[in-house]
Amino acid sequence: MAKMRAMVLDKPGTPLVMREMAVPAPGEGEILVKVAACGVCRTDLHVVDGDLTEPKLPIIAGHEIVSRVAALGAGVSGFELGERVGVPWLGATCGVCLYCRSGRENLCDHPIFTGYTRDGGFATHTIADARYCFPLGEAGDDAEIAPWLCAGLIGWRSYRMTGDAETLGIYGFGAAAHILAQVASWQGRRIYAFTRKGDEAAQAFARSLGAVWAGGSDEAPPELLDAAIIFAPVGALVPAALKAVKKGGRVVCGGIHMSDIPSFPYSILWEERQVMSVANLTRADAHEFLEIAPKAGVHAEVTRYPLEQANEALSDLRDGRLQGAAVLIP
């Protein structure tokens, strides 16, 4: 029987362990894919660290999967063996709940999430529901496209929520921000990048990707902003961002987990400022982003790690040692 390798999480708070196991066969509607590259997202860190409390265990994390179709389950059409496909965080939805029926499948009551409630891409192979996978074509490098599958898609959904903001603040300049900044500046928006205090390398990186200003998250931007997106998992940034936006401005929280938001005076929310969160993605978000990213010339800055070094990649992300995105290569 054919074997695969995977970095497995047995219990949150413990390191991933390399295991060998049988390659699974795809069920009805599923495809087996051979992983070419899998990005490491902050959400993976939240799964591994136990901030997200309902993983399937043991679990193979990873939901920014660039892969090749290796086998088709019964009833799958529209994909060919060897075709390059992307597998994102949204693994499947129920199709019948209130949210699925109203074009909001990102809020589905009974979703399946890749690398959280179903095994993901920190492996040589994985299984995916074909209806939630995307053809990726042949242009572009596997590793450089991997971060598009979550950092790009969630970043895009967050960005869409900021409407036609001309001045846009981005708090936390990691994988999602560095992709989004390229799209937004290509569309003529003025990007203000906020990083950890004193992180001059990240600020220079932001400027190199089109930010007109970069500074610490404790600083006020030189002009008030139309909107802001918070990617860093730091609740204290919510009042900071509210103070930085104009009347009627919107603050979008793009992460799945955030530390508690400290109390703040009503005056910084008043005048129709808004705070909202973005959860998951819809397939429509993915189709939009995958069309616009190549046009905008998005180039993801990646650091490659062999699959065996998944723990090192997670540590580097946790400790802020990465510029851009970490990608595992099996």
Is 255 exposed, middle or buried, given 0-12, 13-18 or 19+ CB atoms closer than 10 A? buried
Q: What single string gives the DSSP state of each residue in 194-225?
A: EESTT-HHHHHHHHHTT-SEEEETTSPPSS-E
In the bound state with Zn ion, the residue whose beta carbon lies nearer, of 39 and 330, is 39
Asked whether the beta carbons of 205 and 178 are under 8 A apart, the reply is yes
CB of 328 closer than 8 Å to CB of 40 = yes
Q: Is 97 in the site for Zn ion (CB under 5 A)?
A: yes
The reply to whether 280 sits near Zn ion by the rule CB under 5 A is no
Residue 203 is a binding residue for Zn ion (CB under 5 A)? no
Question: Between 283-295 and 175-186, two packed helices, what is the crossing angle to 10 degrees?
Answer: 60
Which residue, 93 or 158, is less far from Zn ion as judged by CB? 93
Instruction: Provide, rounded to whole angstroms, the least separation between the CB of residue 266 and Zn ion.
Output: 33
107 binds Zn ion (CB under 5 A): no
Compute the distance between CA of residue 155 and CA of residue 292 in angstroms, rounded to an integer: 13
The residue (of 52 and 269) whose beta carbon lies closer to Zn ion is: 52
> How far apart, in whole angstroms, are the C-alpha atoms of residue 122 and residue 214?
33
Stretch that binds Zn ion, among 42-50, 156-164, 194-202, 293-301 (CB under 5 A): 42-50
- The smaller minimum CB distance to Zn ion, of residues 85 and 256, is found at 256
- 65 or 245, CB closer to Zn ion? 65
Q: What is the dihedral of CA 227, 233, 237, 242, to 10 degrees?
A: 30
Identify which range of 95-103, 117-125, 140-148, 219-227 contacts Zn ion by CB under 5 A. Answer: 95-103
Site string for Zn ion, 54-93 (x = CB under 5 A): ---------------------------------------x
By the rule CB under 5 A, 94 interacts with Zn ion? yes
Q: Residue 85's beta-bridge partner residues?
A: 67, 135
Chain positions contacting Zn ion, by CB under 5 A? 41, 43, 93-94, 97, 100, 108, 150
